[in-house]
Structure 1
Amino acid sequence: MDATDTPELAAFRAEARTWLAENAPEHAGTVKHRLHFEHADTAREYEEAELASVRAAKAWQARLHAGGWAGVSWPAAFGGRGGTPGQEAVFAEESDRADVSVGPLLIGLKMVGPTLMRHGTTAQCAAHLGPLLSGQSVWCQLYSEPEAGSDLAALRTRAVLDEAAGEWVVTGQKVWTSSAQVADWAILLARTDVDVPKHQGITYFLVDMRSPGIEVRPLRQMNGSYHFNEVFLDAVRIPADQVVGEVNGGWKVVHTTLAAERAMIGGGGGEKARALLALAVSRGRDGDPLVRQRIAEVFTLDEILRFLGLKMRAAIARGVQPGPEGSIMKLLVARRAHEAAAAALAIEGEAALLAGADAPDDGAWQQQLLSAQGLRIGGGTDFIQLNAIAERILGLPRRRQPDKDTPFRELTARGRKEDRP
């Protein structure tokens, strides 16, 4: 039992812990932080390891589904357990202790699912929510673009309607796409009207990643992995019934997905202080006052994030969707990841200079320090989150947007002139 559990949550925790003890051991260690394939030397090796990770995640999700533990807080009408956000949080905590995860499926379960339940058609929900819960489908998101930077609304991927065929024809490029190599489906943002301001001409699509015209190219990161990819779309055809929400109304839909993503990132990572303490004990440094101080700082962030998570789940239980508060959690998760990894390397001492199998814990903390930098970018940069906090929580004046009412066609034409020597 956790000290913050109500009697009802305590009973639920006991039930979850018992079921996990009986079912999790053979799946333990699955897809935990991707550390088991961060050292792949080539993109092909990484892809093979990622496929193995997907298979493990699917097998575990199928076990959850069969046992009635898939989609703990999803409404029963959509195939879930119909529980509370608090119960979902408890199950996540117990799963972390049992060392099991559905890592590669999280985009679908935590971002696509909530978006479809809120904005999708009956047919879209029927087609996709079941496979998500049973572990049959992997999703990725096709949002970021090379020329859009942090301004997602400046995306240039175009979708043109072929009315005779009842299909949208999409051409463009996306970048920083997680799991694109192994995804079955993707959520896609594309521009469907260039004669209105940039936020108004965007449409939200569902796209089969096996569609002709899609090419995925892996990107090597500074931590040595190929987790991210760039995706090229060359006249990809998407049936008209795969639009989520209204045509040109995708910006409203994407807010749901982005809020869910920030809540997912903000609620992830588990406790760090406990792992740091174990490392300090193993290195004989748990009595060092400077080490204890650094562990205490990380423990403080652990607790702040835990209580913010409780507050967010309580709001969700009242019917309030995740909002800008998720930006606070995302900022703190990125900060904690960096501080925890830096503390770990300080504890390791000279061994921190090693990597891979030569380093303590197979170089897990070294990998986390390198990977932590991506948390400051993915899901919206730190500066985007700070703007959201300033404007939507603190009520500070919104930053000036000189292009807010300018048709997108004029913005791109102006950009082309400025790019000329």
Structure 2
Amino acid sequence: MDFSFGDEDDAFRSEVREWLKAHLVGDFTAGATPHRRWEQELGTAGWIGIGWHADGFGNRRATLTQQVVWAEEYARSRAPARVGHIGENLLAPTLIAYGSEEQQQRFLPAVARGEELWCQGYSEPGAGSDLAAVRTTAEKDGDSHRVTGQKIWTSLAQDADWCFVLARTEQGSRRHHGLSFLLVPMDQPGRIDVRPIRQMSGTAEFNEVFFDGAHAEGVVGGEGNGWQVAMGLLALERGVSTLVQQIGFAQELEEVVREAVTTGAASGDPVLRDRLVRQWAELRTMRWNALRTLGSTRDPGAPSVAKLLWGGWHQRLGELSMQVRGAGAAVGPYDWSPANPYELDAQQRQFLFSRADTIYGGSDEIQRNIIAERVLGLPREPR
């Protein structure tokens, strides 16, 4: 199997490197805090939406291999983390597949310009991996709906302009039936309350979101078809983004290996050396698997296999990084101060955050059920 890139891809890689080098300056230096102005910088140059199966919205078009090149070079440059990726990689392809022309014209140009940020209103208390247990409701209000309920683990809700919400629009409906995919503006004081969730890593990327009769401004795919739209969107969460993730994983692994060599932790411990080599080999395997399945719609188990692979791998890397550091891993950085008593370095945060890798985005148990039922044809688990 050939995993190489062609001459056009190499030329595109040079273009990407030059653009990133020229623009990662000032407030946009490598590793800078992500913010909206960087999204607008990307949008002005047409770099948002290069993987959309549509153009004319202010985005460039790129082949699948060029999308991989862009993703890899972006990660290698350590450019700021994206705050617009939910709108670009989840909402936009969903609108292209299921939305009306009016919805596409209204929302896609704003996403492509980096002007409007989105969050995802799926998970609820009691409806995380079991998404069909959604209880948030939306009642008809003229040509629109009023949304009432609670969502949780909502990334970027504190900064988002819009939220796409999976809600129950048919009273008394159960499971996959009677759900709709709604577009809800977040600027509704008194109707929407966003509460950050502080994690044991000390950060608060996730939020609880409470809707109290919030106004929705559209239904994607038709009322009652929310489950089909939601499942179509979830299939988009894997793909090129998995390769971007792996570049970040490689950088984290390099830091662990460097520390193991510098401190001499690996030289006297053959078991530790074996674990480091295994991490490297498994990461290469994940890359080949991602490239093999990229763009394939015929393998219903591919997204679940990818999630199982990287979730466990990243969790083991966090454990390995702490083993390399030994007892020092439990000590905070030297610039500790009473004003900031809970400060962690990057490896400590990665270790703590990685405990959730096998849960969020669909737990390992759910992924194994999908593989068993949809790929291997085993009997469904009793409900």
Matched position secondary structure for 1:178:
coil
1:224 equivalent to 2:206? Answer no
1:391 equivalent to 2:373? Answer yes
1:370 equivalent to 2:330? Answer no
The aligned amino acid for 1:21 is: K
1:277 equivalent to 2:257? Answer yes
Structure 1 residue ranges without an equivalent (≥5): 32-52, 402-421
The aligned amino acid for 1:13 is: R
The 8 Å contact of residues 263 and 330 in structure 1, kept in 2 or not, is answered as no
Map of 2:340 onto structure 1:
none
Task: Return the offset for 1:126.
Answer: 1.4
1:126 equivalent to 2:105? Answer yes
Pick one of 130, 142, 157 that aligns with 1:180.
157
Question: What does 1:259-408 correspond to in 2, within 5 Å?
Answer: 259-263=235-239, 266-267=242-243, 268-270=245-247, 271=250, 272-285=252-265, 287-288=267-268, 289-315=270-296, 320=297, 323-357=300-334, 363-401=345-383
Matched position secondary structure for 2:163:
strand
The 8 Å contact of residues 201 and 352 in structure 2, kept in 1 or not, is answered as yes
The 8 Å contact of residues 57 and 112 in structure 2, kept in 1 or not, is answered as no
Map of 2:339 onto structure 1:
none
Q: Matched residues in 2 for 1:93 and 1:107: separation?
A: 18
Q: Matched residues in 2 for 1:313 and 1:78: separation?
A: 24
Write the deviation string for residues 248-297 of structure 1: whole angstroms up to 9, x where unpaired. Answer: 10000001211122447644252143232222233344544333322211
Identity value in percent? 36
Give the TM-score of the pair, scaled to structure 2.
Answer: 0.88
The 8 Å contact of residues 170 and 236 in structure 1, kept in 2 or not, is answered as yes
Aligned residues between the structures:
368
The 8 Å contact of residues 3 and 288 in structure 2, kept in 1 or not, is answered as no
The 8 Å contact of residues 177 and 230 in structure 1, kept in 2 or not, is answered as yes
The aligned amino acid for 1:258 is: L
Q: CA RMSD in A?
A: 2.4
Pick one of 122, 127, 135 that aligns with 1:156.
135
Give the TM-score of the pair, scaled to structure 1.
Answer: 0.81
Q: Matched residues in 2 for 1:20 and 1:308: separation?
A: 28
The aligned amino acid for 2:204 is: Y
The 3 A distance-change label for structure 1 pair 59 and 357 is farther
Map of 1:248 onto structure 2:
224
Q: Matched residues in 2 for 1:325 and 1:3: separation?
A: 18
Q: Matched residues in 2 for 1:342 and 1:266: separation?
A: 21
Task: Return the offset for 1:321.
Answer: 8.0
The 8 Å contact of residues 262 and 379 in structure 1, kept in 2 or not, is answered as no
Q: Matched residues in 2 for 1:93 and 1:285: separation?
A: 30
Task: Return the offset for 1:120.
Answer: 1.1
The 3 A distance-change label for structure 1 pair 131 and 296 is same
Task: Return the offset for 1:344.
Answer: 1.2
The 8 Å contact of residues 25 and 98 in structure 1, kept in 2 or not, is answered as no
Q: Matched residues in 2 for 1:326 and 1:135: separation?
A: 28
Task: Return the offset for 1:103.
Answer: 2.6
Matched position secondary structure for 1:168:
strand
The 3 A distance-change label for structure 1 pair 98 and 321 is farther
Map of 1:6 onto structure 2:
6
Task: Return the offset for 1:357.
Answer: 4.8
The aligned amino acid for 2:276 is: I
Write the deviation string for residues 325-344 of structure 1: whole angstroms up to 9, x where unpaired. Answer: 11111122211211111111
Task: Return the offset for 1:368.
Answer: 0.7
Q: Matched residues in 1 for 2:236 and 2:37: separation?
A: 24
Task: Return the offset for 1:187.
Answer: 0.7
Map of 1:29 onto structure 2:
30
Moved more, 199-208 or 218-227: 218-227
Map of 1:38 onto structure 2:
none
The 8 Å contact of residues 86 and 310 in structure 1, kept in 2 or not, is answered as no
1 or 2, which has the higher helix percentage?
A: 1
Write the deviation string for residues 96-127 of structure 1: whole angstroms up to 9, x where unpaired. Answer: 11111443222111111111111111121112
Write the deviation string for residues 159-197 of structure 1: whole angstroms up to 9, x where unpaired. Answer: 11123xx22111111111111111111010110113444
Q: Matched residues in 1 for 2:123 and 2:241: separation?
A: 17
Structure 2 residue ranges without an equivalent (≥5): 337-342
Pick one of 94, 100, 105 that aligns with 1:115.
94
Q: Matched residues in 2 for 1:25 and 1:313: separation?
A: 33
Q: Matched residues in 1 for 2:140 and 2:283: separation?
A: 48
1:137 equivalent to 2:138? Answer no
Map of 1:42 onto structure 2:
none
The 3 A distance-change label for structure 1 pair 400 and 78 is farther
1:258 equivalent to 2:234? Answer yes
Matched position secondary structure for 2:62:
coil
Pick one of 41, 52, 66 that aligns with 1:87.
66
Matched position secondary structure for 2:153:
strand
Q: Matched residues in 1 for 2:356 and 2:206: separation?
A: 11
Map of 1:76 onto structure 2:
55
Matched position secondary structure for 1:186:
strand
The 8 Å contact of residues 20 and 95 in structure 1, kept in 2 or not, is answered as yes
The aligned amino acid for 1:364 is: A
The 8 Å contact of residues 166 and 182 in structure 2, kept in 1 or not, is answered as yes
The 8 Å contact of residues 136 and 148 in structure 2, kept in 1 or not, is answered as yes
